Structure 1
């Protein structure tokens, strides 16, 4: 009986081993590597729930107003309201500016036939008085305010 050398008896086994090894290497390369935190750098963990506005660390005072924290957003809202209602920006009064949590990605201004992220969204609400009428502007942290014609209440 003639015996074939070992390398020619099971060539499919060697190919399969190479394929499995290559797939394992590709899967390992696609994974996310978490590096240990440097003790000198701030943590990226979320702030305590006791803070109403984790980005700037400001908490609203007793009436929920912390307009100074939103001065840039207020300026944008006032400019938009002045243009939209054709009034002088000096005639617009800030009723409130507060950090809030919106129930979803609609940030309190849902539009018909639109789908929104179903997660809590940290943001703010600005209410202006224009010619005696209240006008709401809503935004998410880090975003510009948008006029909201049919405002919904935040979760907090």
Structure 2
């Protein structure tokens, strides 16, 4: 006949070994931080405005041409205040027009701000460089 105490003792021993070994089974022997992705991705901010002083970029030239077509302003009246690459915090490209609804996804793009006759005009674009006038920038 078998001894019931020895069976109970073996069950407890097996449970203890399993509990002690579980962290090594889950995380291995290496550094946990090297293998697991961060819980929250780093927050990307929109870059500081880049003031242009010199030859204008392709983006500025495109926006100036677009503005002249829409409003008929002359090149002498148009001043480029901001010409920058940005990472928009949402798919609406930083523009609250149309209710400001956009998916909360980081979207690379561009922003060009013109000044014409003391009035500022903000043009936004995504990676495709299809600029549009944003009447209500966020």
User: Do the structures match in fold with TM over 0.5?
Assistant: yes
SS of residue matched to 1:64:
coil
Structure 2 CA distance for aligned equivalents of residues 115 and 67 of structure 1? 35
Match of 2:15?
Answer: none
Task: Report the TM-score when normalising by structure 1.
Answer: 0.50
Structure 2 CA distance for aligned equivalents of residues 145 and 69 of structure 1? 20
Structure 1 CA distance for aligned equivalents of residues 77 and 99 of structure 2? 36
Question: Is the helix fraction higher in 1 or 2?
Answer: 2
1:56-135 alignment, distance < 5 Å: 64-65=50-51, 71-112=57-98, 115-135=101-121
SS of residue matched to 1:116:
coil
Gaps of 5+ in 2: 1-41
Give, in angstroms, the shift of residue 113 of structure 1.
Answer: 5.4
Measured at CA, do residues 75 and 81 of structure 1 come closer, stay the same or move farther in structure 2, by a change above 3 Å? same
**Structure showing greater Rg:** 2
Give, in angstroms, the shift of residue 85 of structure 1.
Answer: 2.2
Structure 1 CA distance for aligned equivalents of residues 49 and 100 of structure 2? 33
Measured at CA, do residues 144 and 85 of structure 1 come closer, stay the same or move farther in structure 2, by a change above 3 Å? same
Gaps of 5+ in 1: 1-48, 53-59
Structure 2 CA distance for aligned equivalents of residues 151 and 78 of structure 1? 18
Task: Report the TM-score when normalising by structure 2.
Answer: 0.55
Kept in 1, the 8 Å contact 2:49–2:84? The answer is: no
Structure 1 CA distance for aligned equivalents of residues 97 and 49 of structure 2? 30
Give, in angstroms, the shift of residue 69 of structure 1.
Answer: 10
SS of residue matched to 1:143:
coil
Measured at CA, do residues 150 and 122 of structure 1 come closer, stay the same or move farther in structure 2, by a change above 3 Å? same
CA RMSD of aligned residues (A): 3.1
